[in-house]
Each structure stands twice: as structure tokens, then as C-alpha cells.
Structure 1
């Protein structure tokens, strides 16, 4: 797959959406858009994290979730949620070639996190071509 590029205006729009997400939930401390084949595109982290490694791993996690959904005869995978001892990682497809990953602390309200993430995907999908 060729590298996906987002224009400067598109990257600025992504950053504003990321900022909104982090404002809506102070538990969110990382947001990443990557390609389905595992390359980071745009990120906003409140702490140092390896974007390229996360992009590669989350691409694989989403692909696995999609495969499991098909094998379980449940059609499309909407989210992959990884609950960890210190928080959550939500990953979902954003358009055909992009993946959105949201990283949040354990004090996050999971329902609120879903809502924020769904809203962000709708905004981003509409704006990104």
C-alpha cells in the first residue's frame, strides 16, 4: 500500500479534533491516526510514546478483530478495545485506509470514550479525503 498523506490543513484539522477529544475527557492522553498497514500519519500524545510501533501493532490488532468478527459470523468489527491495568486503548477503522487509536487512563468512562471516539471518527471521515 502506498503511504497515505494528509495535507497541512488536514493535519491541523486532525489536531483540533484531537484537542477536542482531550478536552472532553481528561483521561485521554493519546490519539493516533495510522494506516491499515501500520504507518503513523498524525498523532497527539501528552507523553512520549512510540507512534510507529503503536501504529504497526494497532493495525494488526484491528485486522485480527475484523477476522475474528467474520469467523464468528458477526460481520464487521466496529471497535477493538484493549483494557489494561492502567487504562484503555480503543481502535477503529477511519475510512478505508486509516485507523484511529485512542489511549486513555483507567479513570476513563468507557461509554464516554466510545461517544467521543465515534464523534471524532465522523468528523474526521467527513473532512479527510
Structure 2
């Protein structure tokens, strides 16, 4: 065996041994209640789902909302109508890219099957 092969043999990593050590580490962490801080993407996910569950719904006229979505959805006017100013600004800022058109189509498809109450309002 050459010298290079001997060096490679010494540098090999035993993945099975590493996996066992990692499992053992997790068991020790669970036993002693060690909590790791959440990663950025986990914190963002938690924040999004908390916002989604607790967000304020706005009453809008169904016909007006659908009409604004179809005609001016590319500019986000329907978002201003439902008092979501930041989303409206986002639509306006990117209206040149075509991305808000796709979002407006999704908004239209969400609002279309919603049943209006006796005064013609829906919760968005």
C-alpha cells in the first residue's frame, strides 16, 4: 500500500459512528432539558403562522372586491380597498414585473367562491 493510500485510510470518516454519537447527544439533551435556539427559518415560520391565526379580517363588499381584483389587481388596488396598505404598496412596487398579476389571480380565485352575507360583505 502506498503512502497516499495509507493517509486516505487514516482520514476516512466513520459515518455510522458519527450517527450513533449524534443520537447519544440528542438523548443527553432531552434528558437534561437542553433547548437549542430556533433557527431563523423556524422563527420566521412560527411568526408567519401566529400572524395567520391571529390576523384581523376585514369586511369588504364582494362585488366591489372582485371587480377591483379583475380590473386593477395588477396594481394592488383591491389590497388598498381591504385596508392592507403594505400589500398594496408591494403590488404597486412590483407591478412592472408581472408578479402581482399572478397574485391578483390567486386573490380572485380565493374571493370568487366566498359567500356574501345579507349585506353583500365578505371577510378577507
What is the TM-score when the length of structure 1 is the normalising length? 0.23
Higher strand share: 1
Please report the TM-score for the alignment, with normalisation by the length of structure 2. 0.23
- Structure with greater helix percent: 2
| Bigger Rg, which one | 2
